[in-house]
């Protein structure tokens, strides 16, 4: 079945809610906006931060980038560790690697922060490639992240049909699904992340799983 598997990070392998939403809250305060309810900031989990500040709070591009800098003041030193790995993820990754799968991270989070999270949870060793965005804003869109991960890990000789059957992208938001579809991959949505009701279905996910064990079953597949 799948030989190459790309994983989103936030909301897929780990639950970063407290760290991300508290850091967004911190950034908003710098602009005179008080948002006491962290649940309302959950939509910031997944997509590029600059886009979220513009979409949800009407910031200009300049303001959004300034907000991202404020966010990083808190997140890079504290929020990054206000995070929990979903139960069973480490076991699943070990089994996937033992079965010969090649694994990669494809995240919109800046690559250095992705690496720190993986090291914190002691799961970095399972990934052959770790691809995130650039701190200066380059490669933020999930389609761009997926493209770079594919360039690094998947033979260019794979045709369209082979990509669909041999390469999977796993994520919890519509951005992960559209990123997979843009490159002809099989898309696997996890409902235990931060998608809104019906989001993964509307995006056209090929599979939707509710638990880590279900995800493992699909990814292991049959030779």
Q: In this structure, is the dihedral angle defined by the CA atoms of residues 148, 143, 162 and 11, taken in order, positive or negative?
A: positive
Active-site residue, from 8, 10, 172, 176: 8
Residue with tokens 């099989």: 186
Distance from C-alpha of 63 to C-alpha of 40, rounded to nearest angstrom: 20
The DSSP 8-state label assigned to residue 49 in this structure reads H
8 in catalytic set: yes
CA distances 69 to 73, 112, 131, Å, are: 7, 15, 21
Distance from C-alpha of 6 to C-alpha of 127, rounded to nearest angstrom: 9
* Of 199, 117, 104, nearest in space to 146 by CA: 104
> Which residues have a catalytic role annotated?
8
């Amino acid at each position: 079945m799948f030989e190459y598997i790309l994983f989103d990070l936030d909301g897929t392998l780990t639950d970063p809610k407290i760290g991300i939403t508290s850091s967004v809250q911190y950034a908003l305060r710098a602009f005179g906006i008080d948002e006491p309810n962290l649940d309302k900031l959950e939509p910031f989990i997944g997509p590029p931060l600059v886009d979220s500040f513009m979409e949800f709070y009407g910031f200009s591009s300049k303001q959004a980038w300034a907000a991202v800098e404020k966010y990083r003041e808190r997140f890079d030193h504290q929020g990054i560790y206000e995070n929990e790995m979903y139960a069973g993820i480490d076991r699943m990754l070990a089994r996937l690697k033992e079965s010969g799968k090649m694994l990669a991270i494809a995240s919109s989070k800046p690559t250095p922060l992705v690496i720190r999270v993986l090291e914190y949870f002691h799961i970095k060793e399972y990934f052959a490639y770790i691809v995130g965005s650039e701190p200066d804003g380059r490669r933020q869109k999930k389609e761009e992240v997926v493209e770079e991960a594919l360039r690094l890990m998947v033979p260019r000789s794979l045709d369209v049909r082979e990509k669909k059957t041999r390469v999977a992208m796993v994520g919890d938001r519509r951005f992960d699904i559209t990123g997979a579809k843009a490159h002809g991959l099989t898309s696997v949505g996890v409902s235990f992340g931060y998608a809104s009701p019906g989001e993964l279905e509307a995006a056209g996910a090929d599979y939707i799983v509710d638990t880590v064990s279900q995800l493992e079953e699909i990814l292991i597949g049959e030779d």
